[in-house]
Structure 1
Amino acid sequence: MKRNIIISVLTISLISGFMACSSPKGKSAKGNITESVWGLVTVKAVVSDSSLIPSKDEIPTLEVLSDGTIKGTTGCNSFEGQVAVTGYNLKFGNLIFTHISCPDRAIESAFFASLDSTDNYTVDHGHLLLKKGDKVLAKFMPMDMR
C-alpha cells in the first residue's frame, strides 16, 4: 500500500514537471497569440538578411486582440490596425501610426516591413514567430517574461 502511494506521488510529480516545461507560465506552447503583449527580440533587416536587435530602452511591442485588432509601439511610435487570423495564417492591415522622429529608424522600418510581409505565425517555446512561408521575419517574447 505504501509503495503504491509513493509511485502515485512520483507519477504525479513527473507529469506536473513535464507540463510545466512544455508550457511557459501556463500559456499554450503553440497557437495562442492573444494572451500576451509581445516584445520584439529580433527582426529581419529590410536591406539584408541580418537580424536587428532593439535596444532595451525602446522595445517594440505587439498586442493581438481577440476582436481582430492590433496595437503596439515601435519603441518610439505607437500604432494600431487590423489583423485577420485563420488557423496559423495571419494578415495585418489598415495600420495607422504616430509620426514622431525616432533616433533608430532601421528597427522601426524593419518592424513595419515584417508586419506587412507576414503571412503566418507560430508560438514555439514561449516565442511568437512572425513568418513569410518558412522564413522567420520577427521573433517576440511575452513582455512579462523579459
Structure 2
Amino acid sequence: MKKISILLSLIIVMSFASCSSVGNLNPMSLLTGNNWVLSSLMGKALDPAKFLNGLPSLGFLDGGGLTGFTGCNNFNGNFSLDGAKINLDPGDMTKKACEGSGENDFLGALSQVSNFKVAKNKLTLLDGAKELLSFVPQN
C-alpha cells in the first residue's frame, strides 16, 4: 500500500511539473519558426474553389514582423502579443486581381482576431471563444 501511495505522489508531482513548464512557454516561440498554412476558415473545411492560386499562409517573425499570402496577394505587416491576446496588421499588400472570394473571406476573418492558441501543431486564431482561422505548419 505504501508503494502505491509513493507512486501516486510521484505522478502528481510530475503532472504539476509538466503543467508549469507548459505554462512557462514564451508565446512568441509558439508562433515563430513555422510557416503556417490555412486549414480551416470560420470553423469549416476550406473550399478549394475559393483559393485557386494557393492556400493562405502566415509567418511570424522575431521582432513582431508578419508575412503572409492571402490566397491571391502577399503581405508584410506586424503583430503584437500580450499573453494570449494578439493584434495582427497585414500592412503592405500586393495588388493582384484573383478569382474567388477566398482572399476577402481570409482578410475579413484575420481582421477579427483577438486571441490565439497553439496545440498539437495547430495554430487557432480566435475572437474570444469563436474560431476564425486554423493553421498547420507547412511541410
Does 2:59 correspond to 1:66?
no
Q: Is 1:38 matched with 2:36?
A: yes
Deviation at 1:93, TM superposition (A): 2.1
For residue 132 of structure 1, the aligned residue among 120, 127, 135 is: 127
Q: Which residue of 2 aligns with 1:108?
A: 103
Shift of the 66–98 alpha-carbon distance from structure 1 to 2, 3 Å rule, reads same
Change (3 A) 1:71 1:36: same
Contact 2:84 2:116 (8 Å CA) reproduced: yes
Displacement of 1:42 in angstroms is: 1.1
Distance (Å, rounded) in 2 between the aligned partners of 1:43 and 1:119 = 15
Q: Distance in 2 between matches of 1:40 and 1:102?
A: 18
Give the count of matched residue pairs.
110
Looking at structure 1, the residues matched to 54 and 26 of structure 2 have their Cα atoms a distance apart, in angstroms, of 27
| Identity across matched positions, percent | 26
State the 1:111 CA deviation: 1.1
Q: 1:79 to 1:94 in 2, by over 3 A?
A: closer
| TM-aligned CA deviation for residue 110 of structure 1 | 1.5
Structure 1 unmatched ranges of 5 or more: 1-28, 45-49
Q: Shift in Å at residue 133 of structure 1?
A: 0.2
CA distance in 2: counterparts of 1:74 and 1:61, whole angstroms: 7
CA separation in 2, counterparts of 1:30 and 1:43? 26
Q: Which amino acid aligns with 1:98?
A: T
Q: After superposition, what is the alpha-carbon deviation per residue over 1:60-101, rounded to whole angstroms, capped at 9, x for unaligned?
A: 110011110100101221011110112111001262211111
Q: Does structure 1 residue 84 correspond to structure 2 residue 80?
A: yes
> Cα gap change, 1:52/1:111 in structure 2, threshold over 3 Å: closer, same or farther?
farther
1:51 aligned to which of 44, 53, 56: 44
Local SS of the residue matching 1:40: strand
TM-score by structure 2 length?
0.71
Counterpart-to-counterpart distance in 2, 1:30 and 1:141: 19
Q: How many angstroms apart in 2 are the aligned matches of 1:107 and 1:128?
A: 19
Q: What is the letter of the counterpart of residue 91 of structure 2?
A: L
Alpha carbons 2:75, 2:90 under 8 Å: kept: no
Q: TM-score, normalised by structure 1?
A: 0.68
2:134 partner amino acid: K
Which stretches in structure 2 are left out of the alignment for 5+ residues?
1-24
Give the aligned CA root-mean-square deviation in angstroms.
2.2
- 1:67 aligned counterpart, secondary structure: coil
Q: Secondary structure at the match of 2:31?
A: coil
